């Protein structure tokens, strides 16, 4: 038995098409309405009259997409299922991609699939510039925090979970709204290190019409940057527990030391410039540049040492 979770907030324009496109592929259609202000809930309720596989979860208030997904997963796990696919209610995903990741998961008994839209034919229409910029920044951060330079498009909303792995999806409150796909990628990457868990990535197609991005770039960047830093530090502990990853852990610690030296050099530069502090500004500028370059170099080397591990634990499906 396979189930799909569809997240919907003010999707009256697209929700019918989204449900119709995937209805035949699943044994249960779980639609989570996040207290929509338009007629989304009315449309879903009407559809349910002729499509009995639909189950509606109507949030009492607007919780956010991350929390809605968590509630959807909890509902899906109440009854037996093999795989759970999560999509959005805006009809941006191709039904053939949804069907394909199910087929691959069933054939190879895969526990987790994330998707990647940033390939030559992965985007139809015009992606909002702010969303493209946000994904670029998020991609850099996810490579930094996971030590996996092959992972891409961490804000893509098309996922597949096995029944087993779905039990691990619990979001901290900071990801109840924005950035929850990023958290999923970071969490699964951590399991790859802890439990020899294999990650799979599938190149999907996302279609954009004339919709505007609902994301607040300042909030999401601040959230992802702060989380990435703490996750990077916590991942070091995991690396030290595994002899195969200890060299990478040592390099990560060295990168933190270099970054602290860079930060101190910048502080001294600012003090000399604005606080009449006595010192050689040129020398501190050289030190700041050197420590910044050294930080980047050490992080790069750390990721190279992890390359062989993620080469066996991370695989593209197409």
Instruction: List pLDDT tens digits, range 164-188.
Output: 999 999 999 999 988 999 999 999 9
| Average pLDDT estimate for 200-223 | 80
Query: What's the fold here for domain 2-234?
Result: Spore Coat Polysaccharide Biosynthesis Protein SpsA; Chain A (3.90.550)
Q: Given this model, what pLDDT does residue 314 score?
A: 86
What is the DSSP annotation of 14-71?
A: THHHHHHHHGGG-SEEEEEE---SSSHHHHHHHHHTT-TTEEEEE-SS---HHHHHHH
Q: Say whether pLDDT at 155 is over 70.
A: yes
Residues 147 and 14: their CA atoms lie apart, in Å, by: 37
Query: What are the structural domain ranges in the chain?
Result: 2-234, 243-309
Residue 87 banded pLDDT, cuts 50, 70, 90:
very high
Residues 142 and 163: their CA atoms lie apart, in Å, by: 25
| Residue reference for tokens 């030590």 | 147
Percent of the chain at pLDDT > 70 equals 97
Residue 94 banded pLDDT, cuts 50, 70, 90:
very high
Six-digit token pair at 109? 């008994």
Residue 294 banded pLDDT, cuts 50, 70, 90:
very high
Residue 176 vs residues 170, 180, 183, 228: alpha-carbon distances, Å: 10, 7, 10, 16
Residue 277 vs residues 215, 273, 274: alpha-carbon distances, Å: 42, 7, 8
Q: Quick count: other Cβ atoms within 10 Å of Cβ 96?
A: 11
């Amino acid at each position: 038995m396979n189930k799909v979770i569809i997240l919907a907030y003010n999707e009256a324009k697209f929700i019918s098409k989204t449900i119709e496109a995937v209805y035949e592929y699943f044994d249960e259609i779980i639609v989570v309405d996040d207290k929509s202000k338009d007629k989304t809930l009315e449309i879903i309720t009407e559809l349910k009259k002729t499509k009995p596989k639909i189950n509606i979860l109507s949030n009492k208030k607007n919780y956010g997409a991350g929390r809605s997904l968590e509630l959807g997963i909890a509902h899906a796990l109440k009854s037996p299922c093999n795989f759970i696919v999560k999509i959005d209610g805006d009809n941006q995903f191709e039904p053939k991609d949804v069907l394909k990741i199910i087929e691959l998961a069933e054939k190879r008994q895969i526990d987790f699939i994330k998707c990647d839209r940033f390939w030559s034919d992965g985007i139809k229409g015009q992606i909002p510039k702010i969303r493209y910029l946000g994904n670029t920044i998020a991609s850099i951060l996810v490579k930094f925090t996971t030590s996996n330079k092959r992972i891409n498009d961490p804000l893509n909303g098309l996922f597949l979970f096995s029944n087993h792995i779905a039990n691990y999806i619990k979001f901290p409150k900071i990801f109840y709204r924005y950035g929850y796909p990023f958290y999923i990628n970071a969490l699964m990457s951590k399991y790859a290190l802890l439990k020899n868990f294999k990650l799979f990535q599938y190149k999907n197609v996302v279609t954009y019409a004339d919709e505007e991005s609902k994301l607040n770039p300042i909030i999401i960047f601040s959230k992802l940057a702060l989380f990435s830093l703490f996750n990077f530090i916590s991942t070091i502990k995991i690396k030290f527990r595994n002899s195969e990853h200890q060299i990478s852990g040592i390099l990560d610690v060295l990168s933190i030391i270099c970054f602290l030296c860079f930060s101190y050099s910048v502080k001294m530069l600012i003090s000399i410039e604005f606080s009449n502090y006595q010192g050689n500004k040129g020398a501190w500028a050289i030190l700041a540049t050197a420590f910044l370059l050294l930080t980047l170099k050490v992080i790069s080397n750390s990721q190279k040492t992890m390359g062989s591990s993620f080469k066996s634990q991370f695989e593209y499906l197409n």
